Structure 1
C-alpha cells in the first residue's frame, strides 16, 4: 500500500478519535484572524476565499528557523522546495504560479511587515524573511490575491511580533548534519511605553551537495510604540548578508543517480558562487479617526549582488554579456490605506481605498568570468545599464456582512513600467521602456448555512508581467531587450466550504484558472535564456486543509492538493512542438502534508511529519525524465524548563527518517539538461537555548 493510501485511511480514524475525545471541549485557536485579503482583522472562517495563518508556535516549535519551507509546507495549494542551494533561494509556487522560476520566487507577492520582498516586476526573495522574529505568516490564494496587483498569483505575508512584556535576553545554538550550525541572540520586551525586538543570527553549512557551502548573517530590529491614544507606530530594520555562497548548479539524471552529492564540473571550473548584501528600513503608522482608520507605510533599502556563472570562456554570450552578473539596487516605496465604515448601510459595510507605489533601480553590470587564463574571476566589462521598475496602483475594495451573507469585492488598476538605460554602446544601444497596465477585479461571496458551515464562491482576473530577467534577451542572436513580450492574463474561479466541527477546522476548495499568453522559455542557448508567450494554459484543482485538536495532548494537521496544470493550446518552443494537454513543468499533480502532534506535559512536545509529492515534469515536451514521486517522514521534539527568571529549551529533529534518496527540486527547462537537485538523506539537528527575564 503506498504512502498516500495510508494517509487517506488514517484520516477518518483521526477525525473520529477527535470527535470522541472532545467531551471537555478544549478551547484552541483553530480560527485565527488575518488581515491579508480583507485588509482588516477578520477570522479566516468568515472570509470568502482561501486564506491560512501559520502561528508563531507552528513556525518555531521544533523547527530550524532557517527557511520558510519549514512552515509553508502545511498550507494546501503551495509547493515549497528547499533547493539545498542558498545561492538560488527557495522555489515556491501557488496553484502553479511561480513554478517555472529559475531562481528566487516568481509570480507571488511576498511581503514582510508591509515591506514588499518582491520587486515591482514580480521577482522576490524569501530569504529576507526572518523566521526567528515572526509572529505569524498569512497565505492568500485564488482570485482575491489579484487585488494585490500584478504578479500576485498568491500572497505570502509575514508579520514580526511586537515587543511586549518584561524585557528579556536570550541565546540559542543549533548544530546538525553537513556541518550546519546556527547561533542566535535576541533581546525583546517593553519599557517606558515602547516595545522592542532585537535579533541577530549566523548560519553556516557545508551543504549536502559538494560545492554548496554557505554563511548567512541576519539582523533585525523593531521599535513599536503609541504616540497617543489614537495611533500606533513601528520602525523596522532588517539585513541579510551572504558572502561567497557556493552554487553547485543542477544535476543531469545520470550524475544524480551516480552520486546525489555530485556537482556539475563547470561549477568547480568557474567556482560558481554568489554574494548578497541586503538592508532595508521601513515604518508602519496607523491612526484612528473615530471609526475610520488611516494606515501609512513607507520603506527604503539597498541590495548588492555579485554572481559568478559557469558560461564557458569563448561562448558568444560570455563575450557579449559576460559570465559575472553584478548589480546594486536601490528600492523604495510606500502605501496609503483608508478604511471607512458606512454606518448608514444595512449590516456592516467597510469601504477601503488605497494607493501603493513601489520602485527599484538597478545599476547592472556584466563581466567576463575569466581574465587571461584564470577562470572564475571578474574580467572585462561586457554590460553596463540602469534598469528601473516602478508600479503605481490605486484600488478600492468593499467588505460587506449582511445577515448570513458576506460580500467582498474590489478592483485595482495596476501599472508597471520597465525602463532600460543602456550605457554600454559598443554592441549597440539596447535602451528602451515598456509599460503594462491592467484592471484586476475580484469578487467573493459567502453564505453561512449554519454557524459551523460556510460556503463561498470567488472570481477574479489577474495578470503577470515579464520580469527584467525574462526581458533581458531577445530570441536568437539579436542584441537588446525582448520588449515584444506580453503579460500573461488569467481568469480565476474558486468555490469552497469551511466547517468547524467541535475542535476540528475543515477548509475545502475547488478552483479553475485559465491563462492566456503564458510566459515560457523560448530558447536557452550558450548561457542566454529568452522567453515567449505560449498561448493558453488550464489549471484545475482541489485543496483540503484539516486541523484538529484530538484531545488536550493530541492534535493533527493535514494539507492536500490535487492540481491538473496543462497547456490548453499547441505552440512551438525552439523548434519543438508542444502539444495541447502536456503538463506544465515544475508542478506536481499531488502534494500531501500531514502531522501528528503530542504534548503530554507543558514542558515537552513532539510531532511526526509526513510529506508526499507526485512526479514532476522538468520541461515542456514532457519527454525528459520526470523527477520521481517521493514520500518522506520527519520527527521533531522540543523541551522547556523554567527556573525563576530563566527559561531553558532544547530541540531535537530528524529529517528523512527512512533515509529516502529523492530529487527535492527541479530546474525547469535547463539548457544543459541539469534539471535535478538532490535532497539530503537522513539528517539530524540538535539545539539548546536560554532566556533570562528581568
Structure 2
C-alpha cells in the first residue's frame, strides 16, 4: 500500500505538469517562458558533450560551488551529496576506509572506499580499472560543481558504473588572487587551506594546499590528511585547449576504529569493540590492541587536450593520466597466533602504478532536418600492484609488521571502445550508445610456500543504452531510457575464496538490465521538478560470502530486483527564500533464494527510503544567509538474511549560517554549522556481512563547525 501511494504521487506529478500545457507552443510563448525560468543547468555527464540537463533523458543532478564550498569544512563530499535523490553518501567517521557511497543500491556492500559507482575528477577517473575508487582524492576546496548521474546512462561509463559522480574544479581566470581558509569543529577537527588562482599570458592557473586533522568522533579514529592540487589551462594553438592537472593525497597512520556489535553501540556509540581474548588487558579494544591503521600516499597527473575541427562544433579530445598509490594497512584479528599457514596476514602492503587514456572524436552535422551529434572513442586503463602481506604481530607484540605471508604482482587492464549519438529534431531528442568492455586480471604469485595462486581472468561485455525525450512544451519534458550494464569483481573481492586461501577465479560479473521513465518540469518560472521511476534486474549479484579473521570473500548470488522512485524539487519563493526537496523510495530485494537467504530479502546496506529537505534564506547581496536542513533515512539491514538487528531509521536536523563582506581588494567569508541539532543517537553506516557481527558504525550526536576565509585580489 505504501509503494502504491508513492507511485500514485509520482503519477500525479506527471499529470499536474501536463494538464495546462499543449505540445504546440508558439515561438513568442517559448521566448516568454525561457525568460521566466532559471538559466539552464549545463552538464557533460551521460552525453560527453555540453548539454542542458533539462533536455537530457536521464536522472542527473548538479551541485554548485556555493553548496560545496561555502557552508562546510570541505573535507567530505558526503555533506554536499546528501541533497541528491537516489544517492546515499555516508561519512563512516572512519578516514581509514573513506566514504560509503551507493547509487540506487549499487556500491552499498563496499567494505571500504567506493565501488559500483564511477568516480571522475576533471575528466580523469578517480576509480581504478577494477572499479575501486577513493572519494578522498576529490579536491573540494576548488570545486566548481559535482554532477551525479544515475540510471541507464551510467552504462556509457562501462564497468562498475551503477552511477557516476563527476567533480569539476574551477579554472584560473581574471586577476591573480590568494585565499586562506581556517575552519574547525567538534572532536578536534581543524583544517587550513591556502589557494591561489588567476590568468596571465593566456595561461590560467589554480593552486591549492590543505591540511586536515581530527581526533575522531569514534574511539581510535584520529586522522591527518594533507592534500595538494594544481591545474593549468592554456590554448597552445587556435581552436584548442590544453588542461593539465596534478594532485596528491597523504594520510599517514590514519586510525581505524572498526565496527562494533549492537550491544556495544547501544552502550556507547563512540566506543570500540572489546577483545574478549585479551586476558592481559580485558577492557582493551581490537582497534587498540592491534593498533589498526592505514597509511596512504597517492599522487597523479593528467592532461586533456581538446581541438575544434573546422567551422562547426566537431572536436577531437585526448586525455592521458598516470599516478602511483601506496598503502600500508594494519588489520585486527581475533586469533593472531593461530593464523593458518594459508592466511595472508594482517598487514596489507601494496605499491600501485596506474595509467590510462581516453581518445574521442565528436562530430556534429545536420541530418533529416535535425542535428546529429556523434561520439566515437576508446578508453584504456591499467594498474600494476606490487603486493605483499605480513603477519600483524612479532613475538608477543601486536600491531607490528611480522613475517611475510603473501607476495605477488597483480595486473588489471580494461579496454573499452564506445559509440554514442544524439539526434534532435523539433520536440524529439533521441540518444543511443554502445560500449564494449574487455577486462583482464593477471596474478603472478611469488610466495609459493602455500601453493601457487598465479592465474588470470578475462571478462568481456557489450553494454547498449538508448533514451528518448519528448519536449511537451518549453517547460515540460518526458523521457524514457534503458540499458544493459555489468559489474566485475574488484581485486579485493577476488583475493580470497570461501573454501580456500587463494584467488577466487570462479567469480563472475554481475549483469544488469536498467529501465527508467521520468519527467522534468518548470512550474511558474521559479520551480523545477524532476521525477523518475526506475527498475534494475541483476543476475549473479556479487555478495559477501564470508568475513572473518581480517579477510572477506565474495560469491555470486542469485537474481536481485531494484524498483524505486526519485523526486527532486527546487523553488524560489522570493524575498530571498528558497527550498529544495529530494525524495527516494527504493525496494532492493533478492528476487531468487540462495543458501539461507529467502526470496524477497532486502539487500544489505540499502535504505528503502531516503529524504533531504532544505529551507534557505539569503540577502540579495549574499552578505548573510541561513538554512535549516533535514536528512532522514529508513532502517538498513547489515547482512543478506535480514535476521540480524537492522540499523534503525533516523531523521536529523542541521542548521547553517553564512556571511560575506567585501572591501577594496579584500573579500571575507564565514560560516557556522550545527549538525544533528537535536542530538539524535543513530547508526550512520554499516559494515555489510561482518561474520563477527561488528556491523555498526556510530554517527556523531550534536556537533558544530566554524570557518572563515580571507581572499585578496591583486
TM-score (norm 1): 0.95
Alignment of 1:578 onto 2:578: no
Specify the alignment match of 2:101 in structure 1: 92
Alignment of 1:492 onto 2:511: no
Specify the alignment match of 1:520 in structure 2: 543
Specify the alignment match of 2:325 in structure 1: 303
Alignment of 1:78 onto 2:87: yes
Specify the alignment match of 2:552 in structure 1: 529
Counterpart of 2:619 in 1: which secondary structure?
Answer: strand
Cα distance in 2, alignment partners of residues 488 and 343 from structure 1 = 39
Name the count of aligned residue pairs. 673
Cα distance in 2, alignment partners of residues 464 and 120 from structure 1 = 12
> Relative to structure 1, is the Cα distance of residues 684 and 400 closer, same or farther in structure 2, using a 3 angstrom cutoff?
same
Superposed CA offset, 1:416-469 (max 9, x none)? 101111011111110000011000000000111111111011000000001111
Cα distance in 1, alignment partners of residues 402 and 195 from structure 2 = 42
Cα distance in 2, alignment partners of residues 521 and 370 from structure 1 = 27
Specify the alignment match of 2:182 in structure 1: 173
| 1:227-246 equivalences in 2 (<5 Å) | 227-246=236-255
Specify the alignment match of 2:534 in structure 1: 511
Q: Would the aligned equivalents of 2:86 and 2:103 in 1 still touch at CA under 8 Å?
A: yes
Specify the alignment match of 2:276 in structure 1: none
Specify the alignment match of 1:460 in structure 2: 483
Q: Would the aligned equivalents of 1:25 and 1:503 in 2 still touch at CA under 8 Å?
A: no
Specify the alignment match of 2:615 in structure 1: 596
Cα distance in 1, alignment partners of residues 157 and 184 from structure 2 = 39
For 1:285, which of 305, 308, 314 is the aligned residue? 305
For 1:294, which of 316, 322, 326 is the aligned residue? 316
Q: Shift of the alpha carbon at 1:535?
A: 1.2
| 1:643-682 equivalences in 2 (<5 Å) | 643-682=663-702
Alignment of 1:131 onto 2:140: yes
Alignment of 1:376 onto 2:376: no
Counterpart of 1:550 in 2: which secondary structure?
Answer: strand
Cα distance in 2, alignment partners of residues 320 and 560 from structure 1 = 45
Q: Shift of the alpha carbon at 1:601?
A: 4.5
Of 49-58 and 95-104, more deviation after overlay is shown by 49-58
Q: Shift of the alpha carbon at 1:229?
A: 2.3
Q: Shift of the alpha carbon at 1:525?
A: 3.3
Q: Would the aligned equivalents of 2:339 and 2:345 in 1 still touch at CA under 8 Å?
A: no
Specify the alignment match of 1:18 in structure 2: none
For 1:199, which of 204, 208, 220 is the aligned residue? 208
Counterpart of 1:343 in 2: which secondary structure?
Answer: strand
Counterpart of 1:580 in 2: which secondary structure?
Answer: coil
| 1:321-340 equivalences in 2 (<5 Å) | 321-340=344-363
Q: Would the aligned equivalents of 1:318 and 1:368 in 2 still touch at CA under 8 Å?
A: no
Cα distance in 2, alignment partners of residues 563 and 671 from structure 1 = 26
Q: Would the aligned equivalents of 1:26 and 1:552 in 2 still touch at CA under 8 Å?
A: no
> Relative to structure 1, is the Cα distance of residues 390 and 557 closer, same or farther in structure 2, using a 3 angstrom cutoff?
same
Alignment of 1:388 onto 2:397: no
Counterpart of 2:574 in 1: which secondary structure?
Answer: coil
Cα distance in 1, alignment partners of residues 366 and 35 from structure 2 = 37
Alignment of 1:561 onto 2:584: yes
Alignment of 1:364 onto 2:387: yes
Superposed CA offset, 1:77-104 (max 9, x none)? 0011100000000000000100111111
Alignment of 1:146 onto 2:155: yes
Cα distance in 1, alignment partners of residues 315 and 210 from structure 2 = 36
Q: Would the aligned equivalents of 2:342 and 2:501 in 1 still touch at CA under 8 Å?
A: no
Cα distance in 2, alignment partners of residues 552 and 98 from structure 1 = 41
Superposed CA offset, 1:107-152 (max 9, x none)? 1110101111111111111110010111111111111111111111
Specify the alignment match of 2:120 in structure 1: 111
Of 390-399 and 544-553, more deviation after overlay is shown by 544-553
> Relative to structure 1, is the Cα distance of residues 49 and 355 closer, same or farther in structure 2, using a 3 angstrom cutoff?
same
Q: Would the aligned equivalents of 2:37 and 2:522 in 1 still touch at CA under 8 Å?
A: no
Q: Would the aligned equivalents of 2:421 and 2:431 in 1 still touch at CA under 8 Å?
A: yes
Cα distance in 2, alignment partners of residues 328 and 155 from structure 1 = 27
Specify the alignment match of 2:50 in structure 1: 41
Q: Would the aligned equivalents of 1:319 and 1:368 in 2 still touch at CA under 8 Å?
A: no
Q: Shift of the alpha carbon at 1:378?
A: 0.5
Alignment of 1:102 onto 2:102: no
Specify the alignment match of 2:431 in structure 1: 408
Cα distance in 2, alignment partners of residues 418 and 28 from structure 1 = 50
Counterpart of 1:106 in 2: which secondary structure?
Answer: coil
Cα distance in 2, alignment partners of residues 202 and 112 from structure 1 = 20
Counterpart of 2:497 in 1: which secondary structure?
Answer: coil
Cα distance in 2, alignment partners of residues 315 and 648 from structure 1 = 59
Cα distance in 2, alignment partners of residues 638 and 457 from structure 1 = 40
Q: Would the aligned equivalents of 1:324 and 1:367 in 2 still touch at CA under 8 Å?
A: yes
Counterpart of 1:591 in 2: which secondary structure?
Answer: strand
Cα distance in 2, alignment partners of residues 519 and 659 from structure 1 = 37
Cα distance in 2, alignment partners of residues 296 and 25 from structure 1 = 35
Q: Shift of the alpha carbon at 1:317?
A: 5.1
Counterpart of 1:608 in 2: which secondary structure?
Answer: strand
Specify the alignment match of 2:277 in structure 1: none
For 2:446, which of 423, 446, 449 is the aligned residue? 423
Superposed CA offset, 1:8-59 (max 9, x none)? 9xxx9xx9xxxxxxx9999775631000101111110000111111111121
Q: Where do 5+ consecutive residues of structure 1 fail to align?
A: 16-22
Specify the alignment match of 1:636 in structure 2: 656
Q: Shift of the alpha carbon at 1:61?
A: 2.4
Specify the alignment match of 2:272 in structure 1: 263
For 2:469, which of 437, 441, 446 is the aligned residue? 446
| 1:617-628 equivalences in 2 (<5 Å) | 617-628=637-648
Cα distance in 2, alignment partners of residues 432 and 92 from structure 1 = 31
Counterpart of 2:677 in 1: which secondary structure?
Answer: coil
> Relative to structure 1, is the Cα distance of residues 606 and 28 closer, same or farther in structure 2, using a 3 angstrom cutoff?
farther
Q: Where do 5+ consecutive residues of structure 2 fail to align?
A: 17-31, 274-284
Cα distance in 1, alignment partners of residues 39 and 673 from structure 2 = 25
Q: Shift of the alpha carbon at 1:192?
A: 1.3
Q: Would the aligned equivalents of 1:428 and 1:479 in 2 still touch at CA under 8 Å?
A: no
Q: Shift of the alpha carbon at 1:553?
A: 0.3
Cα distance in 2, alignment partners of residues 248 and 316 from structure 1 = 22
Cα distance in 2, alignment partners of residues 141 and 370 from structure 1 = 44
Cα distance in 2, alignment partners of residues 128 and 588 from structure 1 = 26
